Structure formats: C-alpha cells, structure tokens
Amino acid sequence: MNNQYGYMRVAAAVPRVHIADAHSNAEGALKIMEDAFNEGVEIVVMPELSLVGYTCGDMVLQKKLLSDSEKALAWLMEQTADIPTIGIVGLPVVYADRLYNCAAIFGQGQLWGIVPKSYIPNYGEFSELRWWVSGYSIKDRMIRFAGQECAFGSDLMFDIHGVEFGVEICEDMWVPVPPSSMQAVQGAKLLFNLSASPESVRKHDYLISLIAEQSSRTMAAYVYASSGHGESSSDLVFAGNAVVAELGRVLGVSERFVRNDRMVISDIDVEYISTRRAARNTFYYPEAPEMRVVEIDVDEICHQGDLRRHIEPIYFVPENEEARAAHCKEVFAIQSAGLAQRLEHTSCDTVVMGISGGLDSTLALLAVCDTYDLLGLDRKNIVAVTMPGFGTTDRTYQNALTMIKELGCTLREISIKDACEQHFKDIGLDKSQCSVAYENSQARERTQILMDVANMCGGIVIGTGDMSELALGWATYNGDQMSMYGINSSVPKTLVKYMVEWYANNRAEGVLREALLDVVATPVSPELLPPSESGEIAQKTEDVVGPYELHDFFLYCALRRRYAPSKIAMLAYIAFEDVYSKADILKWLKVFFRRFFSQQFKRSAMPDGPKVGAVGLSPRGDLHMPSDAQVRAWLQEIEELEQELE
C-alpha cells in the first residue's frame, strides 16, 4: 500500500490464449505485465491455466506441454525481473507424480509461491477429475519449479507492502465455504481468482452477483479474471470476464466477447477494508485453518496521479435513475413502517405536524400520509399546522396550503407573530436586531404550539428535521430539534430533495404535483428572518452553513468510512472538481467538523426516529459520541491542507 490515502492498485486481465502454446501465452502475459506496470498496477491476475489454455483437454498430460509451461514461466520471470508488479498466472504443475491446476505468484524475477486449486468439479461441462488432483490437503510444502524453490500449497497467503492477499481458482469460489473466506478471516484484504468459466445465457449476471457477494461476505476486494478469446469453442464459449469488486460493490467489469486483450484496473481502498473489519466484531472464524504468509519483497510502485475508481458526488442518492426510484420507494416504506409501529403501540390515530412549505416538512407529510394509508386511517386525523411568522413568504405559504388540501389532511393555521412579539416584550428583546434569540424564539414558539395542539387532540408531534441538519446542529434546541417521533431523522438533505421530486413525478398529479415540484425548486431556508422587499426568501441556509451536497459527502465519508479530513478533502476534490474550488471545499469541511463536534449535545437529546440508510446519528444506535469531544486535531489537519494551497 504505497500512497498516503491507503489505496492499492490491482487489475484483472484477460490476454488472448494460444492453446498448448506456452511460449506465445507467456509473451501475451509479458505484455499484460508491462502494461499493468505502466498503469501503476501492483498486482495483476490472469485466467486459469493462462499459460497453456484451459481447453487443452488431454494435452495437459503431455510431457512436452508440462515442460514448456514451466520454461515459459521461467522466461516470463526473467523478462519481468525489473518489473515490481506482481503477476498471477495459471499453469499445470506436477508434484509428487500428481497433476495440479495451479496459480503461480511471481514478481521482479522471483517466484513467490504456487497455489493449487482446492475443489475439482466433476459435473456437466466441468469434468476436471480426468486430469486434476485436488490441492486442498497440500499444506506446509515447498516445491522446486521454474528454476526456483518456493512455497507450495493451499495454505498460502502473501504480504506485499503490509497488505495480505489470497488466491483461489475458479470452482473454489462456487463452493459453500470458499478458500477465500478462510483467507479473509486470517487477514487477506485482497482476493484473486483465476477462472475459466464458460458463458451461457443469464449466467453473467449471476456471476457478477456472486463475486460482489463474496467481496461483501469476506469484507475484502475480489479480483476475478476468466478465460476469453482463443479458448476452444468445440463445446463451450468463453467470454473473457474481468471483474473487480470491493465490499459488495462492483468497481469494474470488462466488456465480453471481444477479440483482444483487456484489463480492468481499480484502486482498492485497503484502509477502508481494515476500518470496516475493525468495526465488525463478528468478523472471525475460530476454526479457520492456519495459513502461511509469504512476504513479497519488491520495489514500491508510486501512482500519485488519478484515482482509478469512480467517486460518487452524492453518496446517499443512487446515480442510476432506476435504482434511485427504487431507493426512494424503499425509504418511504421504511419511514411508514416505523411510524405505523409507533402509532399502533401508543394506540394513537392522530398526529400533529408543522408544515412550512419547505422540503423537510413536505417529505414528512408525504411519509405520514403513506403511513395512514398503510394503517387504513383517515388522513383527516393528520393535523397539519401552518404557522406563519416574520420570515414566511407567500411562495412557501401557498405551497403548504395546497399540499395539505390536496392530500386530504386537516389544516390549522396559527400565526406566531403576536405570541412572539409578546415574548420579545417579556424578555426585553429588541426585534429589530434579528438576533439568534429572535430566530430561535420563533422555532420554540412553533414547537410549543404543536405540542399543545397534540395534547388537545390526543395526538403525537411528528418531527420534520433531517439528518443533515442534525449533523450540523442546524436546529433550535428544544425547538424544531424536538418532537415525539422524528420521521426524517436519518434522511439526508440531498435525498430529501430527490424523494419529494420522485413522489411528484410518480405519485402526484395536477396542482399537487406542481406544488411539490415548486417545493423542490425553492431555496432551503428556515424563514426566520423577514423576506426581501420583493417578498423573496432572504435567509438561505446554504449561504450560511455551506452546500448540503458537500456536507452530506463529508458526513458519509466521516461516519460511514471514518476517513481522516485529508482523505475526505482529496475525494471531494475529485467528486466536485468542476463545481467547487479546493479552497471552498476546505472552508466548508472545516465548518462541517466544527459544527459536527460542537453540536453533539443536540443529537444526544434527539427523539426516536427510523434509520433508513447506512448512516444514522441516533445516540441509541449508530453514533455514541461524547458531547465534549475535541475537534482540534481534525481542524489542524484541514488547516495544514489550507497552507499547502497557499
């Protein structure tokens, strides 16, 4: 692992194969090695039996081919003596008069180890027992091969620059307990598979899902290369699959059925893999077999250029439109299920909520309506209270009225102006100053109204604040921070927008749809300061605390991935390259951490609410954080980055 952010560059490669022509295959492997090195790849895996061809059949029993493949490997190692990239190729190996289907791990002129295939299939098109012996029981052995002595056995793992990896072959991945699973619990963070899996209709999707699932279950990266162009088509066709997956997510897939070499390259976040494993105390297997670890001593490869993986700018919202729609639908379902349980438990059929005409209260209202439909309750029991104040604009006010009416809820309008002005007099506040007290008193007045109305009608107050606001502490303590059930408490602001938009386009029509889309287009604002002379919103949240798309990016990286500020900044530079300058990213990153640490006391007192995604802020669940934690070290790291920009 040779860069400061904890990535390791790997590749799955599919060279053209020449059946039974070991030297030509070695020449193809050499080109792959050279190309991989030029791309900064540290480890590259090639298909099963790639030095002779998987479809050799009985030819693998020929002494000539066995000798040629051994010589080809020796030649390949000699030709790559100056290349520190680690290569993994497949070839036949005779050991103790038995023939094994093996993977050779080599680099910089050294043969570091040979791993035999553990599981030999004997079904359908996979009748391999005719030639191969299982290497499952081969442990703690050494072998003399290709002019060198090296470790040989199924008990091998390898360590390169402090990162351990394991190797398995084709069928090994398809069995109930793959060797890679045992390698992972023994510390392997990278898992490589040399395969020769023929293509058939619908098999490809299952293969991709299997690779992704194995990378998820082992909490590792899984790098898979399968045979392609050049293999015999007498009975089977090989499409040449090259796949890289990490922690359940597919990072790269090659094009199939092409007639030239191909290589899928990706930077694996080894640091994150370690972090995820450390946080999962069930990641162990007490009966896992002991492994031998071969330390690979090769030069480090520096690749400080572009990161070879896609960085999503909005982690909480799927980029694919179809996946995004399914995501929104599922979040609504989770919110509704959570509130339904609370209403049934409390024998309550009435809820009270404040509707401002902004994004958050709109999403909450839609989710509550779904809940009432789920329970078969009358939406008239949803008491939607609009509470005009000093900053309320006609745009948001009219949208609130339209939504409440069109959704069939009960409207109550209670102005807070007179009550707040009386309160200002009581505490001696000059309202012309528009201070924090001026703003927060309005939020608390609204919360008091909602609580009292709920008492009057025997209902509960539904909170509307979202997770992004909770992360930044952008809520008034004992004001909009408080409710009896926070239905949006783990929905980030970036997702709130997409959910309201999805609802408008898929489940609304007419004036309701128009109102919802206008809510999406309205600037985010608490509307606690008087509007402009033209009646427009004067107080825009993102002008004060920063863009929510950045803060949600920071939030995911800091809480889900536990990255340091420098790594978060580096990824943000890439994700928002054409949107924000590096200086602006650091400015808002500093704001994020300062507010995130200082506002924990608000989250410590947050009400119940359903978790809907990978990140949550509940002190009873995802975030056990002291309110007095010091942010100094985080800010210092950001300040050092700022100095580098000067």
3-state helix, strand, coil in the chain (%, to 5): 40, 20, 40
- C-alpha atoms less than 13 angstroms from C-alpha of 389 in its C-beta half-sphere: 28
DSSP letter (8 states) at residue 173: G
Q: How far apart are CA 245 and CA 266, in angstroms?
A: 9
- C-alpha atoms less than 13 angstroms from C-alpha of 167 in its C-beta half-sphere: 38
Q: How far apart are CA 166 and CA 334, in angstroms?
A: 39
Q: How far apart are CA 311 and CA 308, in angstroms?
A: 9
Burial readout 54-79 (b: 16 or more C-beta within 10 A, e: otherwise)? bbbeebbeeeebbebbbebbbbbbeb
Beta-sheet strands, E only, within 288-441: 292-296, 351-354, 382-386, 410-413
Q: Which of 56, 70, 117, 557 is catalytic?
A: 117
The gap from C-alpha 406 to its chain's centroid, in whole angstroms, comes to 38
Q: How far apart are CA 348 and CA 381, in angstroms?
A: 10
Burial readout 296-311 (b: 16 or more C-beta within 10 A, e: otherwise)? bebeebebeeebbbee
- Sign of the C-alpha dihedral computed for residues 156, 188, 309 and 646 taken in this order: negative
- CB neighbour list of residue 142: distance below 8 Å, 6 or more residues apart: 149, 150, 151, 152
How many residues are listed for the chain in this entry?
646
Q: How far apart are CA 418 and CA 528, in angstroms?
A: 15
* Active-site residue, 321 included: no
Q: Which of 110, 112, 25 is nearest to 69 (CA)?
A: 25
* Active-site residue, 170 included: yes
The answer to whether the beta carbons of residues 169 and 95 sit under 8 Å apart is no
Measured CA distances, 267 to 1, 39, 209, 368, 547 (Å): 10, 11, 20, 43, 28
Hey, what are 181's tokens? 């699973």
Identity of the amino acid at 174? W
* Active-site residue, 536 included: no
Q: Which of 42, 48, 168, 501 is catalytic?
A: 48
DSSP 177-195: S-HHHHHHHTT--EEEEEE
The answer to whether the beta carbons of residues 200 and 192 sit under 8 Å apart is no
The answer to whether the beta carbons of residues 256 and 120 sit under 8 Å apart is no
Q: How far apart are CA 50 and CA 62, in angstroms?
A: 17
Give the phi and the psi of residue 102 in degrees, each rounded to 5. -130, 165
Q: Which of 170, 369, 420, 557 is catalytic?
A: 170
DSSP 3-state of 127: strand
Query: Taking the CB of residue 632, how many other CB atoms lie within 10 A of it?
Result: 8
CA dihedral (291, 297, 298, 303) in degrees, to 10, reads 70
So which residues are the catalytic ones? Answer: 48, 117, 170
